[in-house]
Amino acid sequence: MNILQINASYKPAYIYGGPTMSVSKLSEQLVKNGCGLEVFSTTANGSTELQVVKGRSQNIEGVSVRYFKRITKDHSHFSPHLLITLWKEVRNFDLVHIHAWWNLVSMLSCCIALLRNVPVIFSPRGTLSDYSFANKHVSVKKLFHIILGRFLLNRCHLHTTSESEQEAIEQLIKPKSISTIYNAVSLPLYIPAPAHGNETVKLLFLSRIDQKKGLELLFGALADLTFSYQLTIAGTGEETYIAELKALTRQYQIHNHINWVGFRGLDKFELIAQHHLLVLPSYDENFGNVVIESLCVGTAVLISGAVGLAKYVAKNNLGWICDTNIGSIKDCLHTMYHNPGRLAIIREFAPVVIVNEFNEDKLIKQYLKMYQQIINPNYKNG
């Protein structure tokens, strides 16, 4: 089995957050499990370009990756060299797995693979949600979807990362097949010990800083809290937007309660373990890797119902689910504060639940089976 993964960004373009990490992790695990695999990506790194060798295969943590120069910036990522190479080589692969939509790498790669009669599996990674259609270039998205997008996607196999994402997709298109498999998430080899007391509630936001994450709502909720708290914000984003957020914290007079620490890499699990609660009140989140990362070290979560893992968290009593409004977030925070026993229970049992449910070997076997069933519809085992 020889698989081609296509995503507009790849390690070390961490500025794009979860999707880049998810595609990289999936690729690494597939290679470790004997899958023939190559990645086509671009030099995209936000407004800058990755300083990498272009057009030639490179070993990135065990994965063969080819980075191609893009000639347009975010979020179109037009790369003629990638598309020309794909046209020439796509028939060398049994399957093409494309990640995310609304960029010229994904959409044109899908066209090429289908024209060359190579099966395509597509992972939307949040790009086909109602929120995505309602934000940024709305008219262009809707027109493209009607004219061509729907036609292409109906000829693909779909992979979703949560049950809620699958339900939304089924209302939008009719793909050849659809499979839901959770993201493969890198979990720590050990569980960091919690390093906090009980006087001040320590809240954490750990994600790409973007308008869809609901930070404005969180700030509004914090302004009305009646208990002592500190909020750590870990992540990067556009400088102008971060400046607007900082101005908003001063407007709410909560800036003295907030610590901006920037992007965190290998030490993020220690950071998470030092907090009582991870907060992610996103307007839209197809999965939410950080939710699993938080729970695996025992830190409870407060997430919106728009986060793909909301049903999973609720079903397993691993935190609180809020609506995307200030009042609901504030109510959940007060409920959490008055239930320290529940935080203690989650601290003890969440790591056990997560390590079992998100076992890498278990998840990768599901991905391999999905690929085999697309390549060979008569495949039964694995």
- pLDDT means per 10 residues, the chain with 382 residues, are 96 84 93 96 92 94 96 88 97 97 94 97 90 83 89 96 90 94 85 72 95 96 94 94 97 97 88 96 93 95 96 96 97 95 94 90 93 85 54
**Other beta carbons within 10 Å of 197:** 8
Give residue 189's identity as a one-letter amino acid code.
Answer: L
Whether the CB-CB separation of 68 and 81 falls below 8 Å is answered with: yes
pLDDT of residue 138: 85
pLDDT of residue 267: 87
pLDDT of residue 295: 96
pLDDT of residue 195: 65
Give residue 121's identity as a one-letter amino acid code.
Answer: I
Closest CA to 156 of 148, 165, 167: 148
pLDDT of residue 197: 64
pLDDT of residue 382: 47
Identical fold for domains 2-184+359-375 and 201-357, yes or no, is yes
For the chain, the structural domain boundaries read: 2-184+359-375, 201-357
pLDDT of residue 21: 86
The CATH label, of 3.40.50.10310, 3.40.50.2000, 3.30.390.30, 3.40.350.10, for the domain at 201-357 is 3.40.50.2000
pLDDT of residue 47: 85
Strand ordering across the sheet containing 120-123: 58-60, 63-68, 36-42, 2-6, 95-99, 120-123, 157-160, 177-180
Per-residue b or e along 130-165, where b marks 16 or more CB atoms closer than 10 Å to that residue's CB: ebbbeeeeeeebeebbeeebeebbebbbbbbbbebb
Alpha helix locations (H) across the chain? 18-32, 80-89, 104-115, 130-133, 138-144, 150-153, 163-170, 215-222, 239-251, 268-273, 289-295, 310-315, 326-337, 340-357, 360-375
Closest CA to 127 of 178, 168, 157: 168
pLDDT of residue 176: 95
- Protein fold of 2-184+359-375: Rossmann fold (3.40.50)
Whether the CB-CB separation of 277 and 299 falls below 8 Å is answered with: yes
pLDDT of residue 20: 87
pLDDT of residue 29: 94
pTM of the complete model: 0.85
DSSP type of residue 237:
B
Q: Rounded distance, CA 112 to CA 182, Å? A: 28
Q: Rounded distance, CA 274 to CA 254, Å? A: 21
Q: Rounded distance, CA 209 to CA 212, Å? A: 8
Q: 328 to each of 67, 164, 207, 331, how far by Cα in Å?
A: 44, 21, 21, 5
Burial zone of 192 (CB within 10 Å; 0-12 exposed, 13-18 middle, 19+ buried): middle
Angle at 55 between CA 53 and CA 59, to 5 degrees: 60
Q: Rounded distance, CA 181 to CA 374, Å? A: 15
